Amino acid sequence: MTHLRWLPSLLASLLLIGCGGSSDTPASAPSIQGSNLFYGLNATFYVDVTSLNPGVTLSVDKCVPLTQTASASTTSLAYTCKVTGTGTLTFTAKDGKGTLIATQAFTVPEPQVQVTTSLGSAVLELNPTKAPATVDNFLKYVNSGFYSGTIFHRVIPNFVVQAGGFTSGLTQMTPTYPPITLESNNGLSNLTGTLAMARTAEPNSATSQFYVNLVDNTSLDYVSNANPGYAVFGKVVSGLDVINAIGAVPTGITNGMSDVPTTEILVISITRIK
């Protein structure tokens, strides 16, 4: 980590105050660096000073709560917080009068997961800005390893491929977490390659099952409270050919369920990559 020299400037400022200098003497801006800047994870920020002038406050948007922690560096203060948004995240420092004395912008990428199947891999990018509860729920299942060993249990050509609820032999899994509130009225549409949550006839019933649209399925979009549709929360950013290959496999009826692939399509794992 590269350290700039804010601490000497602060000391100089304090010396000027002690010798009759003005308390308005500005301090040079410190170097502010961040690590582990990923949605839903704990980020760490390093401010290149060993102490703060009286009245100086630090803040950061899209990351809460900002809490001082032990620093691995003898020349920096360290702070942690949980990242709650994507895009531009800004860390600021203000003096006792509220004057901005330092600012640093960081970029938080959209979260991505890799779906590894018996027919190949695809990468899904999630949209926590439009569907935060849905993304958080999906990531909990991903992080717990819930999807490893599941199958694509429903495949309808020119419609959708669905997974996340059954293991080999069409054994139904018990969801780990409670059902979530439907976020279908978020401006995202069930277009080709988008990722959405499956649910029952009850709008707020989605748990672990998800589907990928093989074509534009705008009939699945939100229309009204009486016709709420299905919540889109991401999209395929690579490997759509793999999804299409899954969508083209032969299907039949198994244990009374229709549209089940005659040869199981295994989800080897779903892991977070960004």
Q: For the chain, which domains are there?
A: 7-108 (2.60.40), 112-272 (2.40.100.10)
Helix (H, G, I), strand (E, B) or coil at 140: helix
**Nearest to 50, CA basis, from 65, 21, 66, 30:** 30
Residues in the chain: 274
The pLDDT assigned to 2 comes to: 30
Q: What is the secondary structure of 121-180 as a DSSP string?
A: EEEEEE-TTT-HHHHHHHHHHHHHTTTTTEEEEEEETTTEEEEEEEETTTEEPPPSS---
Given a cut of 60, whether residue 114 has pLDDT beyond it is: yes
The pLDDT assigned to 30 comes to: 76
The pLDDT assigned to 196 comes to: 98
Model confidence pLDDT, tens digit, residues 163-203: 999 999 999 999 999 999 999 999 999 999 999 999 999 99
Task: Band the pLDDT of 14: cuts 50, 70, 90.
Answer: very low
Given a cut of 50, whether residue 62 has pLDDT beyond it is: yes
Given a cut of 70, whether residue 90 has pLDDT beyond it is: yes
Write the single-letter amino acid at 105.
A
* DSSP structural state of residue 29: P
Of the chain, the percentage scoring pLDDT greater than 90 comes to 85
Helix (H, G, I), strand (E, B) or coil at 66: strand
The pLDDT assigned to 28 comes to: 61
